[in-house]
Chain A
């Protein structure tokens, strides 16, 4: 019974009590289903409503490639609403423990800061990863059903790359939650920064290399082109470095007790 195990378990019990364990995966499944269903029905809905009123849609234009649809699930559903939902559901991850004094309390016990952070990240990342994967899987099933099949390997590779970006989202929010004390401020800073990363991805190859959101871009490229971009490994390495930095900084901040409001 190490502290890491106890703290991880506590996080899961809390998610269970707050129903997070049900609603977050459902929301991601919903997001995952949205893109294929809307893309599929939009032309026919427009056609049915527009009738012969002059809005004509070229059938060859509307027939999208399945890979593009699932890439759009990642790029425009998960990377927008998805990021916001992850950030908002995680903004209190450290902040709430600071606010009610539990962080102080837990650290008066023989618990290492590393175990505390580890328990938080391990439980929350595994949970978010499963939610995102479920949503992605739903999207994949819909795409296979409504459009065309996507090669299994590409599908797996893409989600692996994407999860690295998700890990960054979590660690970044974690760091902001460690430093700042207001939930609104934490949510605002995290969402704005993460969306800026996302907007800047795909603009310039050098920026992309340093940008953690590049992992999302790579995930989409794997799906669309079916091949791995040469910059992927560099980007992946640098993203992992960013993740390490945010976690190290949080560790420093907590173990040096900088989180106390003076």
Chain B
């Protein structure tokens, strides 16, 4: 199952939510769509799942228009909300039958899928009584029910508490082996955990399309992370004047020191510290930015 998004543009009155967006998702991939709030992620997801129409451009699944391929798509909205008066089981029967699954098959499959998402004990309870996490899990059950080859999820974990988040993330880990997944989130850590590939969006545009490894290598610059006792903070100002030190960033008790040649100069710096009788808490050589920082830099600066 190959998803192609071609030059999709969507405008709401004066605001352009999605601006000439293109990408291809290959079979079996798991892609995280990342961006700050209001970047147009939800709009794009809604266009992909045929809830909204694009003003320009098209979305193709295996070369066919998405509106003819609904059977192959599983969609999980940001806040899945079902009919309050239905029980969990009835909801799955209702959605399953709408997806064209026969009743006999559903009788076999619904309990299995409810067990998988951990709602088997609540199967006869009304959706009305469900918490956000339970609704999300019921939503996932609904998404998986018709065995789609492509699953789209809009912020599957953003609205959940830590426990619910963990449950849902584990569930996605489990299903990602069988299907192609596209999920949006504004929390990088979640995407990092599940997806290999990231597409970063800002103001409706694609600003980066990369894998986690590439992202880190590209942004890799070895620096020295220093943590020292607060009484010795003056020393940090002194080292900034040393010839081999490029610059120093100081956040609280932690300093990030960029050196000219890390391999060569890190020991000189350490020696300097020892000679100055500095109370060192931590001395570490590592990459300059965490994924979070890389992401922030991209979204804010580009």
Contacts and interface: CB of A to CB of B under 8 A. Distances in A.
| Chains A and B directly touch (beta carbon < 8 Å) | yes
Contacts of A108: 49-51, 70, 73, 75
B13 A262 contact: yes
A100 B79 CA distance: 9
A101 interface: yes
Nearest to B103: A1
B13 A110 contact: no
A111 B102 CA distance: 15
A6 B85 contact: no
Contacts of A105: 75, 77, 80, 82, 95
Contacts of B79: 101
Interface string B14-53: 0000000000000000000000000000000010011111
A14 B13 contact: no
A146 B53 CA distance: 61
A110 B70 contact: yes
A233 to B, nearest CB: 40
A104 interface: yes
Contacts of A100: 81, 83
Main secondary structure of the interface of B (DSSP, over half): loop
B182 to A, nearest CB: 14
A104 B103 CA distance: 23
B102 A1 contact: yes
Contacts of A204: none
Contacts of B95: 105, 109
Contacts of A109: 70, 95, 98-99
Interface residues of B, number: 27
B94 A10 contact: yes
A131 to B, nearest CB: 21
B81 A262 contact: no
B97 A6 contact: yes
Given A107-B51, A108-B70, A257-B51, A102 B98 contact: no
Interface in B184-234: none
Q: How large is the interface on A (under 10, 10 to 19, 20 to 34, 35 or more residues)?
A: 20 to 34
B124 to A, nearest CB: 14
B68 to A, nearest CB: 9
A109 to B, nearest CB: 4
A1 B70 contact: no
Contacts of B103: 1
Nearest to B15: A262
B77 A101 contact: yes
A106 B98 contact: yes
B158 to A, nearest CB: 16
B243 interface: no
Contact of B85 (A18, A256, A257): A18
Interface string A1-13: 1010011001000
A260 B11 CA distance: 13
B53 A257 contact: yes
Interface in B47-85: 49-53, 70-71, 73, 75, 77, 79-83, 85
B81 A101 contact: yes
A164 to B, nearest CB: 31
Contacts of A3: 97-98
A257 B52 contact: yes
Nearest to B74: A108
B100 interface: yes
Closest 8 CB pairs of A and B: A109-B98, A110-B70, A262-B12, A108-B75, A100-B81, A17-B85, A104-B51, A6-B97
13 contacts: A1-B102, A10-B83, A17-B85, A100-B83, A101-B79, A102-B81, A105-B77, A106-B98, A109-B98, A110-B70, A111-B98, A260-B52, A262-B12
